[in-house]
Amino acid sequence: MKYFGGCDVGSTYTKTVILDEQGKMVASNTIKSKINSRESAELSLKNALNDAGLKEISDLSYLIGTGYGRNKVPQAQENISEISCHAMGVHITNPEVEAIIDIGGQDVKGIAVDSDGTVKTFAMNDKCAAGTGRFFESMANAFEVSLDEFSKLSLTAKNVIPITAQCTVFAESEVITLVGEGQPRDEIAAGIQQAVAKRCFVMAKKAGAKNSITLTGGCAKNEGLKRAIEKVLRIKVIDLNIDPQLMGALGAAEFARQKGLDKELL
C-alpha cells in the first residue's frame, strides 16, 4: 500500500492529512503553528505519520505542501496554493458544493469550485484582520471566554447589538465598552457575528454563491457565525462530514495522490 500526504502550514494552525491509494484518510493532525514554519510542518507530519503507522516522511510516495508556509514543508515534491487545495478538499468531500468561504487566521477567501474540483474564480481579503480567526480570538478575549464558548454565545440572543467598527482594534474597544455598560453579552456577540457575516457577503457573491455555500478553516466551527451567514446571505451553509479545518491539507493530499499515481503510470 502506498500513502500520500498533504501538509497545510497556516499562520495559526498547521494541519496534515495522509491518504491511501484509494483516497481513504488514514491519519490527520492539527497543531498550533510555531514561529518557524518548518518546525510546524515537521511536527505535524511526524504526528500524522505515527498515527498512520509510518516512520519517515520518505515513506510517503508523494507529499505536497500548501498554506502560508508551503515552501517550508520538508521533502515535499511540490507546493500548491491553499485556494486550489481547499477547492479540491471540499470537492472530494461533497462534489455538490460550488462555493466556499474560507476563513483563515489572517484572511478571508471566497472560492468558486468547478465540477472537477478546480477553482473557477476567487476573491481574497488579506488587507485587514477583521473577520478572521485572529479577530475572533480578540473578541473571545474581550468577553474573557474560550473561542468555543464565544461561538455559541450568540445563539441565545433575541436581539442584535450592531458593531460599527470595521477594524479589529476598534471593534475590540467597542465591545469592551458595551460589556462594561452592562449590555447583554449574547446580543453583543450576535452583533459581532453579524458584522463578520456582512464582510463575507461580498466574498460569497464573488464566489458565485446562489443557493448554498460551505465554510472551511477553523472559523467554520463557529456555530454563531454559520447562523449569521445564513441569515445575512439568505442561503444555506452546508456542513461537511470532515473537519473543515482540514480541507486545505486534505486537498493537498488528494493532489499528491493523483500526481503520485499518475507518475507510476508514466
Give the structural domain span for 120. Answer: 95-239
Dig out the grid coordinates for 201 from the structure.
457577503
Confidence of residue 245 (pLDDT cuts 50, 70, 90): very high
CA distance 169 to 239: 31
Could you tell me the end-to-end alpha-carbon distance of the chain, in angstroms, rounded to an integer? 19
Confidence of residue 119 (pLDDT cuts 50, 70, 90): very high
pLDDT digits (tens, 9 = 90+) for 202-212: 788 878 788 88
Does 225 lie in the same domain as 136?
yes
CA distance 23 to 199: 35
Sheet holding 99-103, edge to edge: 119-125, 108-113, 99-103, 212-216, 236-238
Average pLDDT over residues 90-119: 90
CA distance 168 to 65: 30
CATH code at position 209 = 3.30.420.40
pLDDT on residue 138: 82
pLDDT on residue 70: 95
Does 230 lie in the same domain as 102?
yes
pLDDT on residue 43: 98
Largest CA distance in the chain: 69
Does 101 lie in the same domain as 128?
yes
Confidence of residue 166 (pLDDT cuts 50, 70, 90): low
Classified as helix, coil or strand, 116 is coil
Phi, psi at residue 121, to the nearest 5°?
-160, 165
CA distance 58 to 105: 30
pLDDT on residue 265: 63
Does 259 lie in the same domain as 207?
no
pLDDT on residue 134: 78
Does 124 lie in the same domain as 88?
no
Sign of CA dihedral 148, 152, 153, 154: positive
Asked if the model's pLDDT at residue 130 lies above 80, the reply is no
Does 232 lie in the same domain as 160?
yes
Q: For strands 3-9 and 62-66, give the pairing.
A: parallel
CA distance 37 to 71: 9
Does 11 lie in the same domain as 66?
yes
pTM over 0.85: yes
Does 133 lie in the same domain as 147?
yes
Instruction: Give the CB-side neighbour count of residue 217, counting CA atoms within 13 A.
Output: 27
246 compared with 208, residue with greater pLDDT: 246
Confidence of residue 195 (pLDDT cuts 50, 70, 90): confident
CA distance 70 to 86: 14
Asked if the model's pLDDT at residue 266 lies above 60, the reply is no
Continuous H helices in 7-112: 37-52, 82-93
Phi, psi at residue 247, to the nearest 5°?
-60, -40
What is the tally of helices (H) and strands (E) in the chain?
8, 10
Average pLDDT over residues 227-242: 91
Does 99 lie in the same domain as 82?
no
Please tell me the total count of domains within the chain: 2
Cβ proximity of 207 and 100 under 8 Å: yes
Does 193 lie in the same domain as 217?
yes
Cβ proximity of 236 and 265 under 8 Å: no
Asked if the model's pLDDT at residue 139 lies above 70, the reply is yes
Does 234 lie in the same domain as 113?
yes
Nearest to 26 by CA among 1, 57, 43: 1
114 compared with 107, residue with greater pLDDT: 114
pLDDT digits (tens, 9 = 90+) for 1-42: 999 999 999 988 999 999 999 999 999 999 999 999 999 999
Does 119 lie in the same domain as 223?
yes
CA distance 266 to 258: 13
Nearest to 13 by CA among 224, 213, 216: 216
Q: What average pLDDT does the chain have? A: 90
CA distance 210 to 98: 9
